């Protein structure tokens, strides 16, 4: 299965090595590099990834402290030069522990373990995915019941998310990654780190951007496979209506 990941480590050489190894595995997509916990927290607030490579010893905030700060962390592969943290790390439900220096064979084994865990999760019932024709969206004080057909697109905007409707919009503190998990993939598609669009709202498209009426939305490089799937679904819907 395709997997997305980010690297969180204060050592540039670690980023270079992981990127090199990952480039040899065709189902991996690298979405981000963070060099401290604050960068990582900001990144994960805007971008959902399947798993992270996480160093333990980082300035100011350690890898363990960073994990404790996350309410819904992705899968985690620890990368560390210190074997004495291995036992403690498993208290955080990590997937694997890579002791630096590690070779490609050991790297690939850890990635396969994450893939197996995520595949098992996908096959389990998912109570958070919307199976009705509406969702509830929380703003600062209220929960709004919104029909799925009313949503045109969702945009991440700093610490907030803007849900653009056919008639108005809602500003929410929910993350765009929360909406990506909640909304059905056959109707909504992530096309950019900041945008999630409704299939039926797309009126024009090219390889690099989508048009939704009077709004133009960019297509991120790493999301182009999502857009190809989106276009295939549009074509399929069009043919079935003929």
pLDDT reported for residue 7: 96
- Does pLDDT of 126 surpass 50? no
pLDDT digits (tens, 9 = 90+) for 165-174: 998 999 988 8
Which pTM was predicted?
A: 0.53
Q: 56 and 99 in one domain?
A: yes
CATH number at residue 57: 3.40.50.2300
Residues 32-39: contacts with CB under 8 Å, at least 24 apart: 32/6, 32/7, 33/6, 33/7, 34/6, 34/7, 34/8, 34/9, 35/8, 35/9, 35/10, 36/10, 36/60, 36/61, 37/8, 37/61, 37/62, 37/63, 37/65, 37/66, 37/69, 39/8
pLDDT reported for residue 125: 43
Q: 109 and 143 in one domain?
A: no
Q: 112 and 163 in one domain?
A: no
CATH number at residue 227: 2.40.50.1020
Q: pLDDT confidence of 181, banded at 50, 70, 90?
A: confident
Domain boundary among the residues 90, 123, 156 is at 123
- Does pLDDT of 29 surpass 90? yes
Query: Whose structure tokens read 């509406």?
Result: 134
Rounded to an integer, the average pLDDT of 46-69 is 89
Q: Is residue 95 part of a domain?
A: yes
Sheet architecture: strand order including 204-205? 204-205, 209-212, 215-218
Number of domains making up the chain? 2
- Does pLDDT of 225 surpass 80? no
pLDDT digits (tens, 9 = 90+) for 2-22: 899 999 999 999 999 999 999
Domain boundary among the residues 95, 123, 151 is at 123
């Amino acid at each position: 299965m395709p997997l997305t990941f980010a690297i969180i480590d204060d050592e540039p050489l670690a980023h270079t090595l992981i990127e090199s190894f990952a480039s040899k595995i065709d189902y991996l997509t690298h979405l981000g590099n963070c060099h401290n916990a604050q960068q990582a927290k900001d990144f994960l607030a805007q971008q959902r990834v399947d798993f992270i490579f996480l160093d333990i010893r980082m300035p100011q905030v350690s890898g363990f402290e960073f994990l404790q700060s996350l309410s819904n962390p992705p899968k985690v592969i620890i990368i560390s030069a210190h074997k004495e943290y291995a036992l403690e790390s498993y208290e955080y439900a990590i997937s694997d522990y890579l002791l630096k220096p590690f070779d490609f064979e050991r790297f690939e084994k850890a990635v396969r373990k994450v893939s197996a865990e995520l595949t098992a999760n996908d096959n389990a019932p998912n109570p958070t995915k919307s199976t009705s024709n509406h969702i509830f969206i929380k703003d600062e004080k209220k929960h709004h019941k919104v029909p799925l057909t009313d949503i045109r697109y969702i945009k991440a905007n700093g610490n907030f998310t803007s849900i653009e409707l056919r008639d108005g919009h809602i500003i929410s503190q929910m993350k765009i990654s929360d909406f990506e998990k909640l909304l059905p993939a056959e109707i909504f598609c992530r096309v950019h780190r900041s945008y999630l669009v409704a299939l039926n709202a797309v009126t024009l498209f090219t390889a690099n951007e989508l048009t939704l009426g009077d709004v133009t939305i960019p297509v991120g490089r790493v999301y182009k496979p999502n857009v190809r799937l989106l276009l295939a679904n549009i074509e399929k819907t069009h043919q079935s209506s003929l």
